[in-house]
Structure 1
């Protein structure tokens, strides 16, 4: 049994001081306030938040950071650079890269990641590399195995896209059925997009694993909406609704260009929406209607997507800042709502996580309140001041995995990244 004393802790009922969290077999066994710090406990100074959930990751996209800005371009020209990275990856090189990326997440406070996985090569070797990478980095993984069959609506997969495709929906289903979860990994499913999965196959993917999380890229670009309307007379959201893909276990990623009807459909079905603000800015996607979706009934989560930045606190702050830019109003989300999105583990199939309470996984993130960024901040508003640089200690399942920017198990993350990136 291990115990952590928290100077301040973000509990379900609010922030409390001098909190003792006892851990048994990786789970919180008791939470209490104490006047005297017991001997032998680990002291966590600052504000201790529940572990962060990164609900949308493409690990191999990390290789693109700082390499795609010389000639401007669009999302579609960026995509060609992404294809070039995908073309050269092997299971061995992917293991090294993903281990480094997940370690980078760990030191930033991420305790579980949803990996939207579509680099298949017709088998599960790449998936197993991701599983092992998460294990080495000490964070939990939800493998969201994506069906990807077409290069666009009515177009076959070509070139490197063939590495993404299983050929048919049934082959995708059979391959994913071979994957097994374990103590550190849960298996989910994904529809890459309405561009990459034909209309006739959407319902197969949506219904394949009804107890597992289902994710889908949705309306990230206006061109996707136009192509869908031209081909089917429906928006992508309406097409997914027709296929039965909008459910409380579903998370739509991006949701940038939605109609009022789309927002209503997503909210009425309890479909979650994952925003990736730094990626959506980096790729010039636009700003989605986050407040309207939340008001309609869609739970919100956050992801780092292509990892232009790995900073969950920055993603949470950008959710609010984007709303301010879009509407000219402040306080579109309360700090508590931002923390809720930051810790939404249910979106990736870990509903028991994301809270500091008895029975939950002992996932803790201690954030400094005395740095140049956070000094003087109201602890309840620290999500609007802190960055990943302020993450002091990260605990996953009762085990310290990161401390002051260094990984306890893997050491210097920058060195891991240099190796994983091939230089």
Structure 2
């Protein structure tokens, strides 16, 4: 038996990344949408059908257990904060939860974040119609989407105000949970309702929106309003520094200029955009125009902040045929400062200790870890002054894999 002592790992301290765009319930879909009927390859519609099935079946109790596992996985993977783009507001039949239970789904997410020790900005989402057809006509909500809607922007704003109080009471000064806002998309919220939100939503809150994720969205918006989605947001008074456009994949030169001049945020979700075949957005052009880039894991096909950072640069290289579209410092800033800005969070001391002597990172210069490291290289995660994860294990919740095991054993209908 060898008696040689193992040397201590070589560690570097880095600011902890921020996950600026998450749909926690999409984690159910990981590894389940890539095969279609009769063994063929799965396409976007395979994914969409299973997404609605997952959305239809979640109860507050199930969602809290699932989200606790998802947020724990985020924490051990190195994320210190998450913007949860949330629209599962009501019961499965669309009926609001009654009385003291009216915020059941939202509070389930907040309790899950508290259990995991991650900072949560709940981006409570306005969702009013099914979408726009190819001719630009609004479509009815499908049965699952009924649980997403408050009917109109005024009713959403009223519930949003009550939710802010409920979250504040739950957080009780701990500083982990806060409220933001989101518009699902210009497909899901009509122009006159966008104007109400622009006029009445608290100007201090971060506001997010899915924007131009697919060409069909642009085409329907142009058919309906004679404008791109970016142009419609500008017309309704919503472009500005507090707005974060999620995806922003298919943009015209005018769109890029307008978003940049407004100082808007852009939340790129590279692994999801690759997984869904959305395309590669013009991140470099947006940054050059004045927009601020941040990163999100969206549907959690992967939960690894280093892979999102790497994919931002790799996408740019593939799109342009050039290396060095973003420097390592700029990539790190997108993962950290860009995310804090997108979620309206103040600078803090949340940090990671990352191994620089693993088989992936040995020889890497610390500043270039975004191009070599993965979540497996994260030795410790500290959030809000507490050590919350060590070597892939959560300090209070344990191995996130066991949390998923418990969830799927209790709710096998999601398998």
**TM-score with structure 1 setting the length:** 0.86
In the TM superposition, structure 1's runs of 4+ consecutive aligned residues that sit over 4 Å from their partners are none
Identify the residue that residue 362 of structure 2 maps to in structure 1: 375
What is the alpha-carbon distance in structure 1 between the residues aligned to residue 272 and residue 202 of structure 2?
29
Farther off after superposition, 49-58 or 67-76:
67-76
The Cα offsets for residues 114-154 of structure 1, whole Å up to 9 and x where unpaired, read as: 00001101342111000000000001100000100100121
Identify the residue that residue 199 of structure 1 maps to in structure 2: 191
Aligned residue for 1:107, secondary structure, equals helix
Residue from 153, 173, 178 that aligns with 2:162:
178
User: 1:42-121 residue pairs with structure 2 within 5 A?
Assistant: 45-71=10-36, 72-121=41-90
Cα gap change, 1:370/1:65 in structure 2, threshold over 3 Å: closer, same or farther?
A: same
Gapped regions of structure 1 (runs ≥ 5): 1-42, 354-360
What is the alpha-carbon distance in structure 1 between the residues aligned to residue 42 and residue 131 of structure 2?
20
Aligned residue for 2:232, secondary structure, equals helix
Cα gap change, 1:209/1:44 in structure 2, threshold over 3 Å: closer, same or farther?
A: farther
Contact 2:86-2:124 at 8 Å conserved across structures: yes
Greater fraction of residues in strand: 1
What is the alpha-carbon distance in structure 1 between the residues aligned to residue 151 and residue 10 of structure 2?
52
1:276 and 2:242 are equivalent in the alignment: no
What is the alpha-carbon distance in structure 2 between the residues aligned to residue 305 and residue 373 of structure 1?
25
What is the alpha-carbon distance in structure 1 between the residues aligned to residue 52 and residue 391 of structure 2?
35
Contact 1:323-1:332 at 8 Å conserved across structures: yes
Contact 2:34-2:43 at 8 Å conserved across structures: no
Cα gap change, 1:209/1:76 in structure 2, threshold over 3 Å: closer, same or farther?
A: farther
Gapped regions of structure 2 (runs ≥ 5): 1-7, 91-95, 97-101, 133-137
Farther off after superposition, 133-142 or 73-82:
73-82
Farther off after superposition, 183-192 or 295-304:
183-192
Residue from 115, 120, 145 that aligns with 1:141:
120
What is the alpha-carbon distance in structure 2 between the residues aligned to residue 206 and residue 116 of structure 1?
18
The Cα offsets for residues 279-310 of structure 1, whole Å up to 9 and x where unpaired, read as: 00000000000000000000000000000000
Greater fraction of residues in helix: 2
**TM-score with structure 2 setting the length:** 0.88
User: Shift in Å at residue 317 of structure 1?
Assistant: 0.6
